[in-house]
Amino acid sequence: MFNNFFHKMASPRYFYNISGQLIPWLAAACMALFLAGLYYGLVKAPPDYQQGDSYRIMFIHVPAAWMSMFIYVVMAVAGAIGLIWHIKLAEVMAISSASIGASFTFLALVTGSIWGKPMWGTWWVWDARLTSELILLFLYLGVIALYNAIDDKRTAARAVAILALVGVVNIPIIHYSVEWWNTLHQGPTVTKLDKPSIHLSMLIPLLLMAFAFKLYYAFVVLMRARCEVLERERHTGWVRELAETK
Amino acid sequence: MTPKRKKRLLLIALMVAGVGIAAGFALKAFNENLMFFYTPSDIVAGKAPVDHPIRAGGLVTTGSVKRQADGLTVRFDITDNAETVTIQYTGILPDLFREGQGIVALGELGKDQMFVASEVLAKHDENYMPPEVADALQATHEAGVKGAADTVK
């Protein structure tokens, strides 16, 4: 039965229908969390004792950086599933994640740079954290470029999955870079195991924003995957039927 | 799982492990170069090259910041709570620069162990709190110090 469920889920037609129903709910929940997070982050949360109001950019920067790594792992795992089981939907999910992940990486780099100028005194330094995050952006761009360079989409998906899996080594490097080496970037605040070094009034909006970003990814990746499924399945009966009824 | 799928899974696992090990060795080999700055202990121990552009990082020692006569040049000590290095810098310091703050300076170490910086960056720590909490922490810390001093008396 369990096996059956997966086969059903992995069928493009079933996926297309179920995701169409899910998207509005996910989008609404994302908007609600996003507004709550912005309200608590920009209005309710107190200024920082050292940075004043400038620290508020972290409510965008930190969730974006988390998502940049999270999406990469999702992409690599989906790629591996596509390689091993040859499930089309996994290939679709992998490639649909790439441009969203690239956007979050870019957002994390830009917001970090804007914060760095007044706080550190520089837009950019080549320390281990910043450099490894920039490599992550290049990995995403490489994935997108490789996928578009190969005409046969199934071959392209396999090539992309291998590239994504090779690049996954960068994820622990990004995470631990601030602990393994001296960096200008500060160490982890939320994920360190002893007592959290962020005040609760600032942690709550940060987590709200993090969940909002997760939901944003969830509904956007489904939207992108639906387009990709339609394009790949355009010669099948159910897509033709869909086109005729609309 | 069919044997074919098992084989593919194994191949992928081997590939990821291989890349991981290779990256691990490469990073270990370049460990020194990946350090963004030298600590005062490194510099005092002679690990940092002299007359060569390097970065030094540490906490600004309380009470060590001294403005020079020209008004722009400033001298201060940085420490990693083990060793201390004196830094001289001419220019505008970043907003977060203050005593007790972590900084990273780019410059050259002279033979007299004076570090002449051309750029000073503030290093932010991982703590975020409202000003009232910071004040309260400071107050309890001071009370604690005073209490300890009283006990000694």
Among A162, A173, A184, the residue with its CB nearest the CB of B121 is A184
Give the pLDDT confidence score for residue A2 in this predicted structure: 58
| B123–A125 CB contact, under 8 Å | no
Architecture of domain B36-123: Beta Barrel (2.40)
- Is the pLDDT at B96 greater than 90? The verdict is no
**pLDDT single digits (tens) A52-64:** 888 899 999 999 9
| 8 Å CB contact between A223 and A106 | no
With vertex at residue A229, the alpha carbon angle to CA A228 and CA A232, rounded to the nearest 5 degrees, is 85
Task: Please give the pLDDT value at position B150.
Answer: 64
- How would you write A137-176 as a 3-class SS string? HHHHHHHHHHHHHCCCHHHHHHHHHHHHHHHCCHHHHHHH
pLDDT greater than 60 at residue B92: yes
For chain A, what are the domain ranges?
54-188+224-245
Per the CB < 8 A criterion, the answer to whether B48 and B42 are in contact is yes
Rounded distance, CA A52 to CA A50, Å?
Answer: 6
How close B63 comes to chain A (CA, Å)? 19
The identity of residue A117, as a single letter, is K
**β-strands B84-90, B114-123: how paired?**
parallel
ipTM confidence score: 0.77
> pLDDT tens for residues A113-163?
999 888 888 899 998 999 999 999 999 999 999 999 999 988 999 999 999
CB distance A179 to B126 below 8 Å: no
Percent of chain A residues topping a pLDDT of 90: 64
For the stretch A212-227, pLDDT in tens is 999 999 999 999 999 9
CA distances from A100 to A70, A94, A107, A160, B25 (A): 11, 11, 11, 15, 32
Q: Which amino acid is at A207?
A: L
Mean pLDDT value across chain A: 90
Q: What is the pLDDT of residue A207?
A: 93
What digits encode the pLDDT tens for the residues B47-89? 888 888 888 888 898 888 888 888 788 999 998 888 899 999 9
The pLDDT > 70 percentage for chain A reads 94
The pLDDT score that the predictor gives to residue A228 is 92
A115 contacts on B by Cβ (under 8 Å): none
For the entire predicted model, the pTM comes to 0.87
CA A25 to chain B, closest CA, distance in angstroms equals 34
Residues of chain B neighbouring A188 (CB-CB closer than 8 A): 126
d(CA A124, CA A121): 9
Torsional class of A136: left (φ above 0), alpha (ψ -120 to 50), beta (otherwise): alpha
Residue A65 pLDDT: 96
Report the gap between the CA of B9 and the closest CA in chain A (Å): 6
